[in-house]
Amino acid sequence: MGILNFLKRDRNKKIAVTTSIGEFYFLETNGTKNYQGKVKSKINDDIELLFPINDDNISEYQINYFKKIENSWISILQQASTQKPNINFKDYKVVSILIPDKGNKFYDVDVEIVVQKGEEIFSLILSDLNVNEIIEV
């Protein structure tokens, strides 16, 4: 009986996928398929990434977009500071980034970046690496 239990597949176990930026686990919620993981980045050491997917895998588009965010982070901070000059976004920690796959029917944004300082939380909505909107949560 112990052997049979060992051979049974754990239905709750998440599927892991390793990419050039980290390891991600499959998560299906509210009818959407996603990969979620924590990564160390130039932006912050512990960022939760969520990749809503169209097919079965994280796309190169999503990975490349994350790398573009890392490389453009100073510009993104400057744009956010221009829109909200009374807030110093450099003092905020990036806690999560959502990058839906191109053409995902559930999302109408390229990227959502959530930043936090103490109890203050802001969501930066990006399109083509440009800050379109800043939402106070």
Tens digit of pLDDT for each residue in 24-38? 999 988 888 999 999
pLDDT in tens, 99-125: 999 988 888 889 999 999 999 999 999
pLDDT of residue 17: 86
Please determine, for residue 90, whether its predicted confidence score (pLDDT) is greater than 60. Answer: yes
For the chain, strand residue ranges (E) read 16-19, 22-29, 32-39, 47-52, 93-98, 111-117, 120-127, 130-136
Q: Is the pLDDT confidence value at 10 over 70? A: no
Token pair for residue 45?
């050491």
Mean pLDDT of 85-96: 95
For position 14, what pLDDT does the model report?
Answer: 66
Cα–Cα distance between 4 and 37 in angstroms, integer?
31
Q: What is the pLDDT of residue 13?
A: 45
pTM value is 0.86
- Contact between residue 82 and residue 56 where contact means Cβ atoms under 8 Å apart: no
Nearest Cα residue to 40 out of 66, 63, 22: 22
Domains of the chain, residue spans: 2-136
Confidence of residue 3 (pLDDT cuts 50, 70, 90): very low
What does DSSP assign to residue 106?
Answer: T
